[in-house]
Amino acid sequence: VFSFIMDKKSPKLVILEYLQQQNRPYSAIDIFNNLHKELGKTVVVKTLETLAEEKKIIEKIYGKQKIYSPIQNENECHDESQVKSLDILIADLQEKVSILQQESKQLEGQLANFKNQLTTDEAKIKIQYLEKENMALKEKIFTLKDNKNSVTKEDFKKIQSKKDLATTFWRKRKRMANDILDTILEGYPKSKKELLDETGLETDEDVGVVMNK
């Protein structure tokens, strides 16, 4: 465990001895944390830059990251073990960057999807509109059904065809209304029944309407 007495050693000596004892590359934030934050972050960064300028340690820049390592020999700035250590550290940093980039893309996709969804107020208006259309279609279907005996066979077939088409639209609109209702319920703190009561909406089941198969 590395330790030091702040009133006896300068930050430059503390950091230099730490790198020499550990004998491996570190970033400024790593050194700051490993020294248990006994030196300020700004002090650590400036001291490392000064040591690098004085050729007492090695500084390598990878993207926006600066990596510092001790000099193994006063007559050379690096050896094979240092290169391997740096390669390992670089590979680790690249992997972390790749993971963060993937997470960023996922979050951007989720944000875009969220922006495309209807707001609660918009969804309520859409449900009310679809419910009114459904009721109009129901009334039209019932009217056509009640009057089927007063028309010719050919007209009845046309009416029946229109009824089938209306029923198809009915089913489609009902599904759309239910989908919108489910979307609202995902962020609604109360039950489905309470939501319907508050918005004044009625379902087919509430008014006793059964969709023919």
Question: pLDDT tens digit string along 23-64?
Answer: 888 999 999 999 988 889 999 999 999 999 999 999 988 777
Same domain for 158 and 128, yes or no, is no
Percent of the chain with pLDDT over 70: 80
The residue from 73, 89, 108 where one domain ends is 73
Residues 43 and 16 in one domain: yes
Q: Residue 69's domain is classified under what CATH number?
A: 1.10.10.10
- Residue 136's domain spans which residues? 118-149
Question: Is 131 in the same domain as 182?
Answer: no
Q: How many domains does the chain have?
A: 3
CA quadruple 38, 43, 46, 52: dihedral sign? negative
In the sheet that holds 57-62, the strands lie side by side as: 26-27, 65-70, 57-62
Structure tokens at 114: 């969220």
Distance CA 194, CA 202 (A): 12
Domain-embedded: residue 83: no
126 inside domain: yes
Residue 45, SS3 per DSSP: helix
Do 145 and 177 have their domain in common? no
Q: What is the pLDDT of residues 71-125, one digit of tens each?
A: 876 554 455 666 677 777 777 777 887 888 888 888 887 777 766 777 777 778 8
Do residue 139 and residue 161 come from a single domain? no
Residue 6: is its pLDDT beyond 60? no
Say what the pTM is: 0.37
191 occurs within a structural domain: yes
